[in-house]
Structure formats: structure tokens, C-alpha cells
Chain A
Amino acid sequence: MTLDLELNESEVLLRNAALDFLRRDTPKLVVQGLLDTDTGTTDELWQKAADMGWLGIIIPQEYGGSGYPLTSAGVLFEALGTAPLPGPHFSSTILGSLVVLHAGNEGQKLELLPALARGEETLALAMTEPNYGWDPASIETTATSSGGEFALNGTKTFTMDALAASKLIVVARTASGSEQDAGISLFLVDRESEGVSVRRLPGFLSGRTFEVELDGVKVPRSTLLGQENMGWAPLQQAITEATPILCTYKAGGCQAVIEMTLNYSRIRVQFGQAIGRFQRVQDMIIDMVTHSDAAKWASYEALWKLDTGQPAIESVHTAKVLASQGYWEVVTLGHQVFSGVGYSRESPISFHTRTSRSLHHYLGEPSHHRQELARMLVSPEVSAV
């Protein structure tokens, strides 16, 4: 059989380099500090990431990137998820690059992608709104054309990594059609443009989630990413390809939590023995492993399908349900094993607590993807599993 789950040589190098980076440049205390910042990173760390080639990992070589397949990016993000390394790595490097790749015209790609790879520009997707959802019906922000420019009006709530971004990809309605996904356009908006205000949403578990107000923001026609009214399809394609990489990041988080929980189960003594000797504690850790493995292999299978040009949408939805739910459950169970010491801000499990929650809804919470799966499962056209 052709089945082969091992990393190839370049993936092993990527993984080792990432784990070395985390040990050397972002030990526990640094991660703890970064989690509280507005950007999740520093100029120095971001430059280092650019030097390592991470910021252009999936950008094709003709646009200044290293052109790795999505699976390799998944391997990198699985390693980064163990810290978990904060910053707009996913939002900009993966999701942002993919939106530009799928939606942008040649000139935009030539201008923007090399700058992303060098770390000179950073992107964030301003899509969801107070009426939260990842479907086209939830997009109510408008872009009204007059003369050679557009005026953007609306509120982009739950925008991840907005303050780390130099440019926002704003999803807006340019026309109302009978089809809800028609008439949606994408704009590249400088975050510091007049009329843009960004506010970090408070909450220990909210992560770097922002509300972006667009109050009559005037942008020239040249900021239109790709074609007017045709933004939805390339956006969906980008989200589909990006999602399983977010999932490997979560799977990496699961593995780190399991590792630290296993260690704690060996050293914490109660009733005269290591708590890991108690079968109820063992049950929890075994459940954690089930969640973690399901998340990991579902993600890599989806990436393999995408990289080899196979229909992947079912696998992508499956991966997001299993990874979001899995990371959440692994952290919850880990806390049960750690008990008191897990609630300390400097305890690394708390980094994962915050991350598993703040990324839970990103690109759709489990119920969103379950709904998509349900649609496919009752539709007679789709082939059997």
C-alpha cells in the first residue's frame, strides 16, 4: 500500500527548526508575555520568522516565497502549536496569503506576496460581524462606489489579529443579488486609514480578537482584491485550504497539553501514590489522546487531499470539528488533572486554555462545520463515505 504517515526530510527539518526556535527564542515566560500583548509578537521575533522562511512558506517561489505544499505548512504549525506561539502566523501567513493568491490579480500578487514573505506587510481577515457567522448572509458591511472610490461602512466584530496587521482584508457587499454569495467583494484596507478604528475585545479567553469599525472609510478602486462582486468564491477556497493548517496548530497544542499532563500524573502524589495510578485519572488522559490523534490525522488527511487535488471539503469540515472540539476537551480534561496548579497564569496549560478558547470559533465553530456536513450527508449527489 502507498499509505505513509511519516514526515519527509524537509518536513523533519521544518519541525526541528521550529521546536529549536521555541526552545531558544520563546521559552515559557516569553510566550506568557506575548499572550498579553496586542499583536502576539515583537518586531524582532517577526523578523526572525521571516528569516527562517516561515512567512512565505506557502507563497509560490515566483512571488518570493518558498512554495511548500500545505502539508508542510501543517507540520510547521503543528510544531508552533505546542508552545503555543502567538502572533499573526496563521492569520497573515496562511489565511492572508491564500486569500491574496486566490482572489488577487497578478499585479496585487506581485506587490503583496513578496512583502508578506519578507515580513513587511501583515494581513488580517475582517469578515465576521455582530450578527456572527461565516456564511454570506452574515455579511452586512457595505462598500458603496462613487467616482473612482468606494466607501466602506460596517462593524467587523471578532476580527483576529487586527492590531498585528498592516492591512485588513475587508469582506463587504457591493451589490445585493438573489444569490447571497453574489455581490461580495474583498478590499485591502490600510489599518491606519481614516475611518478605521480597532478595539481589542476584553476577556481572559478572548485572545487577540478585535472589533473593527469602518466608518465611511474611503478606499480607491485599486484596493479591490480581484474582481468586484466576485469575492466569495476565492475567499471560500482560501478558507478551505487554510482551515486544516489552523487544525494542525490545535493538534500541536493537544500534544503539548498531553505531554505536560502525563508528566504531572507521574510526580503529583496523593493518597500515597502518583495520581496517574488512579484509573479515573488514566481515563481522562486516554480520552485526551483519542481527541488529539483524531484531530491530528483528520487535519493531515485533509491537507493531503488538498495537496493532491482531490475533493477535500468533507475532510476539511471533519478536521475543524475534531480539532476545535478536541483542543477544547483536551485542555478541559488537562485542567481536571492539574487542578489548582493549572490555574496559575504561569502554568503552560493556561496558555493552551486561552488559545483553545480564542481559536474555537475561528473559521467556524464545530456546529458550523457540522451543519455543512449534515447538508452533504443528506444530499443524494454526494458519494458515500
Chain B
Amino acid sequence: MNFSIELTPEQKNFGKEVSAWLDENWPADMEPIRDAQKMTREQFQVRRKFAQKLGAKGWLFPGHPQEYGGGGLGHLTPVIQEELASRGESLPIVTDWTNLAAPAILARGTEEQKKRFLPPMLTGNSMTWQLMTEPDTGTDVANQQTNALRSSRDGEYFVINGSKTFVGGIHPPPDQFYLLTRSDLEAPRHENLSSFIMPANLPGITIQPLDLFPLSTMAAAYGPTGATMEAIKNSVFFDDVRVHESYLLGEEGEGWQVTMATFAVEHGGGANIIRNRMSERFFDQCRNNPHITTRLRENPHLLDKLVDVYLYTQTERLLSIRNAGGKGGGYGGPHFAMFSKVFGSKYGADLAEVLGPYAFIDEGEERLDDGIFEVGQRNSIAKAPGGTPEAMKIQIARALQIGR
């Protein structure tokens, strides 16, 4: 066995190339983001331009096929991720759901759709939102109430009515929606759905930002883009929106199969090896910040919390290594993502105990580091984005064949 996540010589050489390019092309006016709600439209544009530059080299979605605008780089993908991470950034630089839409298009799209949508998506030239959740459709994804019904007037058009919520991100609108709908009012559950990949600017579409307190998943601990991914949400309303059937993704009535292609990615937890930057900062504070070392010295109960955080972080990292370890690692599935979410709340509580009220103060260096722990506290209550742990457990139970 080998647990080393060190790069191979080929990867290291590529790393040098990436590093030199990044040094040369790094936008001087791009500010690091810790909290997405504070990202201005100007900063958003700076980031988009940088994403497009990466996209032109195939480095924005390095693992996707080259013929559709990806990098086709496979095992070199972690090199790009690591180089960006060492500069405090992560792919894809700005809010986007291409990572979820592209696999569905690749699996179920027509050749025409792949050629039309993927190159701009994978090079950062168009942005995509995934529209699945509705006011009455959360974990029960198949319970779609947004109708896309064949027009009685001209049958090659669908007319969409309904609303989606807790979707999208900062600074709308995007260029297209990856949308799940109910297209048949009679057919049985799971056979009544259709997916679309469609323009986001059609008449009858209204986007309304939600007034949420800035919540993001624990992913924010791993890189600033994580925070931008999840922090801002919207409702999207459809009023008699007419969509041509050429925007159907997969066959009519195959929406559930298309959605499963996405879930395999979204709930899979991927094969990225986790480096929990929040924990790294936390351990650093526990060794070096005099306010915190004093607290730890004076109250031995806090040491217990510190060790809990350490063991949680180790377990999380080991589960991610298991997922990345291929065949030898055994069953992965959403187990890792589920663990992160379930223990996220205990983790947040333990951090708050050790750090004291500093944990909630969003302020710079005189206080605790740069306030990342305040973001972490908000993160630790976020369970829903990407699927609740309960929904993930249903998938895990199926994969383990519990009771079946």
C-alpha cells in the first residue's frame, strides 16, 4: 500500500508549467474571497475573465473531454487543483453548476447539444445553474411540480409553468438552466419527468434572489470557491415559458435517468483528497495564538474537544483517501460526503468551545486569523445543499444492500 499523495515526476513537471503560467497570468485586481456575499459584480467579472483564461487552456475543467472544450488531462487534474489551492483558489473560480450539468449532457445529450453547450460551458464562456429543488420538492426529487407540457397549439414546443427555489448563485442571470420538470401528468412516478438544457433568458422567466443568511456547506473550509458556490440562492419562476423540444436533455420522460447521471457526481463526494484548511488553521491557533493556548491550558475539558476535532479531521481525510484509492479503497459512494455533513455540526460546536466567542467574530488579524471560523460556524448548520445526509443514507443503504 502507499498512502502518499505526492505527485509523480510527470505531474511535478506539469506543476511547474502550471505554476509559471499562473504567476504570469494571475489578475492583479482579483481579491481573495472568504465570504461570497461580499463579492461585488466587478470582482465577479474579474473572476469570470480569469476563469475564461484558464478555460482557453483547458484548465478550467481539466478532466473533461478535449473535443468539447475540456482539458482531457485526467490524472493531471489534481496538479492544477493543487497549484490553485496553494494560491487560495479552487476550480472553477466562480459560481457555476457545469460540474453537475456536463456529466448529464455527456451521458444523455445529443451530439448537437454537446457541440452547442459544452464548449462554452467548459471554457468558462457560459454559465449554468442546476434547477431541481422546488418549494415542495426537496429530498423527494421525483415529486416535481413544475410542469413542462407539450403545447396544444404547436406540439414541438413545451410550455413551462412553476417555480424552483434554493437554486443558482451570485449575480444572475446565468446563460442556461439545467432544468428538471414534470412533463406527463398521467404517467407513473419516475416515468413522468423530463430534463432540459435551455437558455435562461426566455420570456416568462423571473429570477428573484433569496434573503438568506450566508450559509454554505463545509466545502467552504476547503477553498474560497466553495463559499461562492453555496452562499447565494434564488427562486426562479416560470410563467408560460415556451421551450423548443430540441432543448430536451435525454428523451421525453427520461428525466429521472438524466438526474441519476448528475447524482452520481453530486452525491459521490468525488475522488478528491480532502485537505481541511479550516482544521489546519484551527490547530495552528491552538499552538500559537496566546488567547487560545491560555484557554487550553486553563481548562482541560477543551483538550478533549481539540482531540475530537483532530480525530474528526483524520477520519474525514481517511475516508476521502479511501474514495480516491480506487479498487483497493472499497465502497465509497456518498459515505464520505455524508460523514462530513453529519459530523459538521459537532465539529462546529467543538470549534466554538475551544475558540470561545472569537468563533463568531468576523474580523481580521487582530482577532482570530481572518475570520474564517465565523464562516465555519455558519457552515456547520448547512445540511441541505447537495442533498441532506438522510437522503445520502438512503443511497448508502441501497449500495450496501441493507435489508435487500
Contact = CB atoms under 8 A, between A and B. Distances in A.
A293 B318 contact: yes
Given A4-B1, A276-B403, A385-B313, A377 B397 contact: no
Chain A binding site: helix, strand, loop or mixed by DSSP? helix
11 contacts: A1-B6, A7-B1, A262-B401, A277-B403, A282-B402, A297-B319, A297-B322, A298-B315, A304-B2, A384-B280, A384-B283
Given A2-B2, A318-B314, A290 B335 contact: yes
A380 interface: yes
Chain B interface size, as a band, is 35 or more
A304 B400 CA distance: 28
A309 B204 CA distance: 65
Contacts of A283: 393
Nearest to A372: B307
Interface string A297-335: 110110111000000000000100110000000000000
Interface string A366-385: 00001001100111101011
B75 to A, nearest CB: 7
Closest 4 CB pairs of A and B: A276-B403, A5-B328, A6-B328, A5-B325
Contacts of B306: 374, 377-378
A373 B305 CA distance: 12
Contacts of A233: none
A285 B327 CA distance: 22
Interface residues of A, number: 48
B266 to A, nearest CB: 19
A286 interface: yes
Contacts of A5: 1, 3, 321-322, 325-326, 328-329
A36 B339 CA distance: 38
B201 interface: no
Contacts of B30: none
B25 interface: no
Interface string B77-110: 0100000000000000000000000000000000
Interface stretch (B156-164, B218-226, B242-250, B284-292): B284-292
B212 interface: no
A281 B401 CA distance: 12
Nearest to A277: B403
B296 interface: yes
Given A1-B8, A1-B75, A294-B318, A282 B328 contact: no
B361 to A, nearest CB: 23
A274 interface: yes
Nearest to B390: A279
A286 B148 CA distance: 38
A262 B279 CA distance: 34
Given A1-B11, A2-B8, A289-B335, A262 B400 contact: yes
Contact of A377 (B280, B307, B331, B394): B307
Contacts of B321: 3, 5, 297, 301
A276 B6 contact: no
B397 A282 contact: yes
Nearest to B7: A1
A378 B287 contact: yes
B397 A279 contact: yes
A265 interface: yes
Interface string A251-290: 0000000000010011000000111111101110110011
Contacts of B307: 370, 373-374, 377
Given A298-B314, A304-B1, A7 B328 contact: yes
A356 interface: no
B20 interface: no
Contacts of B339: 290
B310 A377 contact: yes
B310 A385 contact: yes
Interface string B2-27: 11111110010000000000000000
B304 interface: yes
A321 B286 contact: no
Q: Which of A2, A273, A385 has the most CB of B within 10 A?
A: A385
A71 interface: yes
Nearest to B78: A1
A384 B318 CA distance: 17
B335 A265 contact: no
Given A1-B7, A276-B403, A304-B1, 19 more contacts: A1-B78, A3-B273, A3-B321, A3-B325, A5-B329, A6-B325, A6-B328, A276-B402, A277-B403, A277-B404, A285-B400, A285-B402, A293-B330, A297-B321, A300-B1, A301-B3, A303-B1, A374-B306, A385-B313
B325 A4 contact: yes
Contact of A276 (B329, B338, B393, B404): B404
A266 B314 contact: no
B293 to A, nearest CB: 7
A262 B310 contact: no
Q: Which of A304, A370, A380 has the most CB of B within 10 A?
A: A370
B396 interface: yes
B402 A281 contact: yes
B167 interface: no
A260 to B, nearest CB: 13
Nearest to B314: A318
B319 to A, nearest CB: 6
Given A7-B328, A279-B397, A298-B318, A274 B404 contact: yes
B185 interface: no
A380 B287 contact: yes
Interface string B274-286: 0000011001101
